[in-house]
Structure 1
Amino acid sequence: MARTDVPTRKRILDAAGKLFHADGIRAVSVDAVAEKSGLTKRTLYYHFRSKDDLIAAYLETRDQPNLALFQRWFAETEGTTADKVQGIFRQLSASARHPKWKGCGFLRTSVELIHLPGHPAILAGRAHKKRVEDWLCSVFEESRLPEDARLLARQVLLLLDGAFAVVLLHRDPSYMDSAGEAAAQLIRD
């Protein structure tokens, strides 16, 4: 597909996604996004009222694909629910071994915008994490796991997000494996 055949909004989001992933949201200017997408800044602002709206839209485009990836990894892992949840961590550990891996974009964005709790990107990140938690809760309810499936879903989400942070700090994916073992143990108990 030729570049001009790609809808303008998608071109902007694709360019923004590459730049935000590589450099972070604060380091990337609207000018850089416009240039990378091959458009004028005016055209970019026609599709997004502000850089804040662009950042939120970028995260919203990552929501369903990220959740679908977790769901696929869960489904493809053989064994019990505990094994399947551990499989998500195992896959994340493998992903973290790639030199371009930069962790969770939702968490990285929340750190960059820590002083703006009502920012549209923070709201998008919060909604994504809630969807992941809700999905885990439904998995645990379907598996007839502990009476408090919501609490277990929150604990596993905390292990996921904590592992993202520690793997980034240490550049050691084995922390993701350790978090997966802890999640599996929680589910088995």
Structure 2
Amino acid sequence: MSPENRSAKDRILDAANRLFYSEGIRAVSVDAIAAKAGITKKTLYYHFKSKDDLITAYLTSRDQPNLALFRTWFDNAEGKLADKVEAIFSNLSQSARHPKWKGCGFLRTAAELANMPGHPAMKVGAAHKKKFEAWLCEEFQDHETKNPGELARHVVLLMDGAFSTVLVHQDPEYLVSAGRAARAMVAEAS
């Protein structure tokens, strides 16, 4: 579908995704999103009653595609369970090498909204992180690992820590190291 044939709401959300991810939610104005979407600010507010609603929709739109991508990397990886978990980190490391990569949009948004714990986008981000952890737990249960819930939580901590460290040092190798640590933990629990 050509950009001109997409709905105004889809164009707004696409513009918000690109701008919020690349520049941050506080740095991007509603005017900039409207301009990028090729619509008026009035049209933007017709579809989203506030910038907060748009921020929430931005994260919501990233939820399932991100989870599906992690599942694909896991499912396509060769080897045992530990190898599949490490593959998620390896693929993230490859993604982090792209010049437009800015880390985890959920964590970056949470950092910008840290003083607003009740913000709807914070709830969307927390739910996304819990869905990933729950999915890992299910995989670990299916593979009969020891303490699947705790193991899933440890892998999530490694991933989110690696996301942050890569941003601080601008070095995707931290994701590779975190993947090796996750692999070792999963192998030990298997």
Give, in angstroms, the shift of residue 98 of structure 1: 1.1
Q: Which moved more, 1:78-87 or 1:4-13?
A: 4-13
Show the counterpart of 2:177: 178
Consecutive unaligned residues of structure 1, counting only runs of 5 or more, are none
Structure 2 residue 148 is the aligned partner of structure 1 residue 149? yes
Find the aligned partners of 1:160 and 1:81 in 2 and give their Cα distance: 17
Correspondences of 1:10-159 after superposition (within 5 Å): 10-146=10-146, 148-159=147-158
SS of residue matched to 1:78: coil
SS of residue matched to 1:18: helix
Give, in angstroms, the shift of residue 97 of structure 1: 1.0
Deviations 1:24-62 (A, max 9, x none): 000000111111111111111111111001001010000
AA at the equivalent of 2:149 = R
Find the aligned partners of 1:139 and 1:2 in 2 and give their Cα distance: 39
Correspondences of 1:154-169 after superposition (within 5 Å): 154-169=153-168
Deviations 1:125-164 (A, max 9, x none): 0010010001000000000111x21111100000000000
AA at the equivalent of 1:67 = L
Deviations 1:66-121 (A, max 9, x none): 00000000011101100000000000111111111110000000001110001111
SS of residue matched to 1:103: coil
AA at the equivalent of 1:183 = A
Q: Which runs of 4+ in 1 moved over 4 A?
A: none
Find the aligned partners of 2:15 and 2:47 in 1 and give their Cα distance: 14
Find the aligned partners of 1:82 and 1:11 in 2 and give their Cα distance: 40
Find the aligned partners of 1:12 and 1:77 in 2 and give their Cα distance: 35
Find the aligned partners of 2:19 and 2:96 in 1 and give their Cα distance: 19
Find the aligned partners of 1:124 and 1:6 in 2 and give their Cα distance: 25
Find the aligned partners of 1:102 and 1:49 in 2 and give their Cα distance: 27
Give, in angstroms, the shift of residue 13 of structure 1: 0.1
Find the aligned partners of 2:30 and 2:38 in 1 and give their Cα distance: 12
SS of residue matched to 2:137: helix
Give, in angstroms, the shift of residue 3 of structure 1: 3.0
Find the aligned partners of 1:23 and 1:38 in 2 and give their Cα distance: 19
Find the aligned partners of 1:163 and 1:2 in 2 and give their Cα distance: 37
Identity of aligned residues (%): 60
Find the aligned partners of 1:99 and 1:11 in 2 and give their Cα distance: 23
AA at the equivalent of 1:100 = K
